[in-house]
Amino acid sequence: MNQQHIIFVCTICGSSHQTKQDVVKSDGERLLEKLQTLYHDWVLQNEFSIQPVECMGVCEQVCAIAFVSPNKHTYLFGDLPADAERVEKTASAILDCATQYHAKSDGLLAYAKRPELLRAGAIARIPPLPPGH
């Protein structure tokens, strides 16, 4: 497929700014670190990059990630658990879903085939730009 795919991860999610409590590491930072760790053994590491972003504007739905690729639908997911006990399961589910996203030429993800954590967490599916724009 040779298109660049990106997983954006909000690093502000679950931060001291949002929780109003002192937090050494935000949930978003914890999720980003776990994704980066699992990424090294992931079969699609040459097809995807994982990029931190400071905010995706869905602060009520901590933690948030997005799948983005040219000519594909963009998906925004939230309410992903990233506490210490569940972060590895969440990161694995994200990479599993990203594998499905990569395999689809239009990026459309079937609800029933997504990992359970990413079924209820879908916030938006944004269509790609029309050709010529």
pLDDT class of 3 with cuts at 50, 70, 90: low
CA distance 66 to 44: 16
Given a contact cutoff of 8 angstroms between Cβ atoms, the answer to whether 97 and 118 are in contact is yes
- Is pTM beyond 0.75? Reply is yes
pLDDT for res 107? 96
The string of pLDDT tens digits covering residues 107-129 is 999 999 999 999 988 999 999 98
The string of pLDDT tens digits covering residues 40-96 is 999 999 999 999 999 899 888 889 999 999 999 999 999 999 998 999 999 999 999
The string of pLDDT tens digits covering residues 6-51 is 999 999 877 645 555 555 788 899 999 999 999 999 999 999 999 9
What long-range pairs does 106-115 form, CB within 8 A, spacing at least 24?
106/71, 106/72, 106/73, 107/67, 107/69, 107/72, 107/73, 107/74, 107/75, 108/73, 109/75
Q: Is residue 67 within a helix (H) or strand (E), and if so which, with residue range?
A: strand 65-68
CA distance 83 to 62: 11
CATH superfamily of 5-126: Glutaredoxin (3.40.30.10)
